[in-house]
Every structure is written in C-alpha cells, then in structure tokens.
C-alpha cells in the first residue's frame, strides 16, 4: 500500500469567526455536545502532550472527565510518566480529533492539580474495580509479569472489600487554556482554523492560514 495515495477531501462543514462563541470554553462545549450527539467514537478521548524530565515531548491518550470555567480536567497517577513530567514542567497541549465531523480542537496551557476534595469526589464515582486498579498499578513502571498486577489487585480487594479510598498518588489535573484552536476540515486542504489567544486576560479570536 502506498501511503502517498491515502487522502480524503473534507467538505462536510465550514467555520467562521462570526459563528464562534466569544468564549473558547463555550465553543468547545458546543462542539463536544455535537460530537456526542453524532455518536463519534470516544468523543472525550484526548491526546495529552507533555515535556519529560529529559526535555523531550511525549504524549498519550486519556479521557476528558470535565470541562468547566477553569479549563479541561483529566485524572491520572501522579507518579506516572505524565505526572512526573507535569511536576517538572506544568504545561500541556491537548488534541481532540473527531474524524466523523472532520474536526479537531487543540488546547495549550498551564496545568494545575485539582484540590483533594474534587479528586475524592470523582474517585468515589468510579467503578469499584477501577478504584482497585488505581492502587494496584504503579503506572509507567516496569513489571516482571502481568500476574504481579493481578495479585496486587486481589490484595487490594481483600483489604478494601467495600470501600476503596483514593490513593494519595492519584488525582486530577486541570489544563488552564491560554490558546485554543478549532479546526474544521475543508476541500483542497483550505481548512478553517479559528484560534483563541489569551491576551491580557481577554480572549482574542483570529483566523489562521491552513
């Protein structure tokens, strides 16, 4: 298969500055709701890119769990590779991609930990087995065999048969946006790109060349 021949011309929709909300958060919520209603595959899946301790970028997919007036919220193990990266360099870039709608959203900003109460509240809403997994997995570390993970999970279940408390090394982050771009695919690769840029506390909307 020749990868040079794989291409698709996007033509479903277009995007103008005038139709975009004054707030990038409100605009994102509109697009996210449209993605959910369109039943796109994993509408809350987002690529989170960070800068590691070695100064190199790395990225992975997570699930967005909340969007609010502050920004974009996800949860993870603080000792994971992404957690260590954020401890050293508290900035991240997010990318949402909804190919069914020929859309993507890019977010850049500072990252802060959620307070303990917010992390506790979300952790309590997770399924029992997921809460056990948060204790059993030393995320991003090398393990000798999968059986070790299963044994650890069983031990956690025996210790906490009814209520699993949140591990102190697990919780939420919020990405505080400083730049947000909405990308709508268009024919002939003349895509619509509307960027929101935070300037002195005010969001500035501008069109970018594709």
30 is in an annotated binding site: no
191 is in an annotated binding site: yes
60 is in an annotated binding site: yes
Specify the pairing of strand 45-51 against strand 72-77: unpaired
65 is in an annotated binding site: yes
84 is in an annotated binding site: no
208 is in an annotated binding site: no
101 is in an annotated binding site: no
Residue 176: strand pairing partners: 110
62 is in an annotated binding site: yes
- 55 burial type by CB count under 10 A (0-12 exposed, 13-18 middle, 19+ buried): exposed
63 is in an annotated binding site: yes
15 is in an annotated binding site: no
Q: For residues 149 and 155, what is the distance between their CA atoms, to the nearest angstrom?
A: 10
70 is in an annotated binding site: no
130 is in an annotated binding site: yes
Q: For residues 196 and 85, what is the distance between their CA atoms, to the nearest angstrom?
A: 26
- Phi-psi region at 147: left, alpha or beta (left = phi > 0; alpha = psi -120 to 50): alpha
82 is in an annotated binding site: yes
Which of 43, 60, 40 minimizes the C-alpha distance to 52? Answer: 60
4 is in an annotated binding site: no
139 is in an annotated binding site: yes
149 is in an annotated binding site: no
CA dist 205 → 32, 41, 110, 118, 199 (Å): 19, 29, 20, 32, 10
CA dist 209 → 23, 82, 166, 192, 193 (Å): 21, 32, 46, 8, 7
Annotated binding site for substrate: 65, 122, 126, 130, 189-191
Annotated binding site for FMN: 60-65, 75-76, 81-82, 104, 139-140, 183, 193
Annotated binding site: 60-65, 75-76, 81-82, 104, 122, 126, 130, 139-140, 183, 189-191, 193
């Amino acid at each position: 298969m020749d990868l040079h021949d794989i291409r698709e011309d996007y033509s479903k929709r277009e995007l103008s500055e005038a139709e975009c909300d004054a707030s990038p958060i409100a605009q994102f919520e509109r697009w996210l709701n449209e993605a959910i209603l369109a039943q796109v595959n994993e509408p809350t899946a987002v690529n989170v890119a960070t800068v590691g301790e070695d100064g190199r970028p790395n990225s992975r997919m997570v699930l967005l769990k909340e969007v609010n007036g502050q920004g974009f919220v996800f949860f993870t193990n603080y000792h994971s590779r992404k957690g260590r990266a954020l401890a050293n360099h508290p900035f991240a870039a997010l990318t949402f991609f909804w190919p069914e709608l020929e859309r993507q959203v890019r977010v850049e900003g500072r990252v802060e930990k959620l307070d303990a109460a917010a992390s506790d509240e979300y952790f309590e809403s997770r399924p029992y087995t997921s809460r056990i997994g948060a204790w059993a997995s030393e995320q991003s570390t090398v393990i000798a065999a999968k059986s070790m993970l299963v044994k650890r999970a069983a031990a956690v279940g025996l210790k906490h048969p009814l209520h699993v408390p949140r591990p102190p090394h697990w919780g939420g982050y919020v990405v505080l946006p400083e730049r947000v771009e909405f990308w709508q695919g268009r024919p002939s690769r003349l895509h619509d790109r509307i960027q929101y840029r935070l300037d002195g506390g005010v969001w500035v909307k501008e069109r970018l060349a594709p």
